[in-house]
Structure formats: C-alpha cells, structure tokens
Amino acid sequence: MARGRVSDETLVVTNKLEAHYGRHDGLVSDILAGLSAAGYDIDSLDPTALSGADEFHLGGRLATIALLESVREKQPESVLDVGCGIGGPARTIANELDVTTLGIDLTPSFVETATELTARVGLAGRVSFKVGNALALDLPNEQFDLVTLLHVGMNIADRPRLFAELARVLRPGGQVLVYDIMRIAPGSLTLPMPWASSDDHQHLGDVDDYLGALRAAGLEAGEPVDHRAIVSTALRRAADAPPPVNLSNLMGPDFVEMFSNLRTAVAAGLVAPMQIVGSKPG
Ligand SMILES: C[S@@+](CC[C@H](N)C(=O)[O-])C[C@H]1O[C@@H](n2cnc3c(N)ncnc32)[C@H](O)[C@@H]1O
C-alpha cells in the first residue's frame, strides 16, 4: 500500500478508536482547570505538572524515564513517538534526551491537545505533532534515530505491518523502543480497558507475537523486560502524593473502571507491561 494510505477496514477500526479515546471534550481546559484548582500558575507551567494526565501508560513518567535508559547510550538526535496521545512522553523524551521529537496519533483531539500543551510549556520549538496512522505513516524512509511506541500496539491487529512501517522510517543503526501491555497467560479479561471499550479495537499480543513481528521487519530484538516493579513504585508514589491532574481528566469518569479492570488483570498474572527494544542493522 502506498505511503499514507489506509484500507476501508482500517478506517472502520479508526472510527471505533476515536470513539474510545476521543470521548472527553474540552481536554485542555479541563486539565488547566485541574492544575489551577491545585494552585498551579497555568501561565508558567513546568511540563512535569501535567504528568498525571499526559503519560497514558502504566508507570507514567517514571516508566518513561526508566525506558529511556535502554536507548540513551546511542545518543539519538531525532525521535518519532508513534501513538503519542496528548504528548507527555514526547515532551519527556525531548527533555531527557535533548532531542527534537515528532509525535503522531490517530486521535485528532489528542493531537490538538498535545500541540496546545506543548506550546504552553515552551517546548514548541523542539516537539511537534501531527495526525497520522502508525500503519501508513506519511513520512519519508530512514528519517529517525529512535522510534518509540508506548501502549499503542494493543490497538493494532497487524503488528507485522506496524513494525515494517516503523522499521521503514528508522535510519540504519536506529532503534525502536516498545512498551506495551502484553499477554503473559491465558484467561478472560474484562472490558473496558484503558485502551479499549470493545473487542474490535483490542488486540493484545504476547511477547512472541512482538518478537516475531520485529524480526520479520528486519529488526534485531533485545531481551524483553517486565516492568511490573516500576509500575508498583509509580502507583505507590501516586497514592502517597496524588498528582494535580490524572487520567480521568483525559478519559472522563469511566477511567476509574478501565484502570480497575487493568489492575485486576495485572494482579491475576494475565498481562504485564513489557519493554522490547528492536535495532535496525547499521
Ligand atoms: C493508551 S494511549 C497511549 C498514548 C501515549 N503513547 C502515552 O503513553 O501517553 C494509545 C494511543 O495510541 C493511539 N493509536 C492507536 N492506534 C493507532 C494507530 N494505528 N496509529 C496512531 N495512533 C494510534 C491512540 O489514539 C492513543 O492516543
């Protein structure tokens, strides 16, 4: 399929995804009102003040920083964050690695929110966003040193095509950093989950699915890492010192049920937040 084109079937799933992620209107004003109510000066915001609401993956900002340790050594200069949500990881990556970052996401309201929040925290010169589909990126070949994918693959059925596309935009010697919820044991899961309201856009894979898809895309796959310990630490810290805004500001009141279902599945040993780094031969 040509660059940037998606099939009709993909468009149907896209609509379902938009209904799931785009459920909550007025994101920026809701987040800023929450910060203001907590006593923050919203005209002079540090990006970390947003991190309860803008890092939409298990472990939040703490996990993002831990993940970056595995790719820091290669000193990437240009980073693509695929499925960027409202941009928290892209802003953290830009600050932590001192790089320029482009975030792409299928959900237009998330991209608008990401752009507005990034301007508000003074990072617009280094971090930008656009609407796009991970399965058909409207980007040239071999443009990025690092591609990150945080809690996005659970929405994508065609993982071989996903990783072929990520490998295409990666420079030789570049890396793909994956951090997804993966299946670690059989057993039924209760929906809604934070990434899906119904089965048509829930596509959990296991470690072997990911390793197979990475290798089929010509990438060398590193050892998978289970990050449940970091997630427990992050949850303890959030319980001790609740952040001024949280993922209910992003997803609405239903997030409480989504998160409870995910916690139950993690505690039952059915799923885990797993990291895998893929490298494109130089
Ligand atoms: C659970 S959120 C994670 C957001 C972000 N990576 C983070 O960690 O804060 C999943 C994101 O993936 C996006 N997404 C799902 N399928 C996608 C696709 N095919 N292409 C681009 N974005 C996609 C959704 O719109 C949503 O913003």
CATH of the domain at 157: 3.40.50.150
Mutate to test the pocket of ligand 1, among 1, 55, 61, 106 (most ligand atoms within 8 A of CB): 106
Domain-located, residue 263 = yes
Domain-located, residue 1 = no
Cα(44) to ligand 1 centroid in Å equals 28
Domain-located, residue 3 = no
pLDDT at position 17 is 87
Domain-located, residue 182 = yes
Cα(39) to ligand 1 centroid in Å equals 30
Q: Indicate the number of domains in the chain.
A: 1
Distances (CA, A) of 251 to 31, 174, 193: 11, 33, 11
Identify the helix (H) or strand (E) that includes residue 108: helix 108-120
Domain-located, residue 177 = yes
pLDDT at position 22 is 87
Q: 């693509």: which residue's tokens?
A: 80
Which residue's alpha carbon is nearest to atom 16 within ligand 1? 155
Domain-located, residue 248 = yes
Cβ atoms of 243 and 249 closer than 8 Å:
no
pLDDT at position 23 is 78
pLDDT at position 153 is 98
pLDDT at position 1 is 38
Cα(16) to ligand 1 centroid in Å equals 13
Cα(83) to ligand 1 centroid in Å equals 3
Domain-located, residue 100 = yes
Domain that holds residue 221: 8-279
Mutate to test the pocket of ligand 1, among 155, 227, 251 (most ligand atoms within 8 A of CB): 155
Domain-located, residue 2 = no
Distances (CA, A) of 116 to 26, 28, 113, 120, 230: 12, 8, 5, 6, 30
Q: Which residues line ligand 1 (CB under 6 A)?
A: 17, 21, 55-57, 83-85, 88-89, 105-107, 110, 133-135, 150-152, 155-156, 194-195
Whether residue 192 has a cis bond before it, omega within 30° of 0: yes
Closest atom of ligand 1 relative to the 194 alpha carbon: 1
pLDDT tens for 72-101 read 999 999 999 999 999 999 999 999 999 999
pLDDT at position 25 is 81
pLDDT at position 2 is 41
Which residues in the chain come in under a pLDDT of 70? 1-13
Closest atom of ligand 1 relative to the 57 alpha carbon: 8
Task: Supply angle C-alpha 86, 112, 22, rounded to 5.
Answer: 70
pLDDT at position 11 is 59
By the 10 Å C-beta count (0-12 exposed, 13-18 middle, 19+ buried), 147 is classed as buried
Our measurement of the distance from residue 227's CA atom to the centroid of its chain's CA atoms, rounded to an integer in Å, reads 15
Cα(168) to ligand 1 centroid in Å equals 19
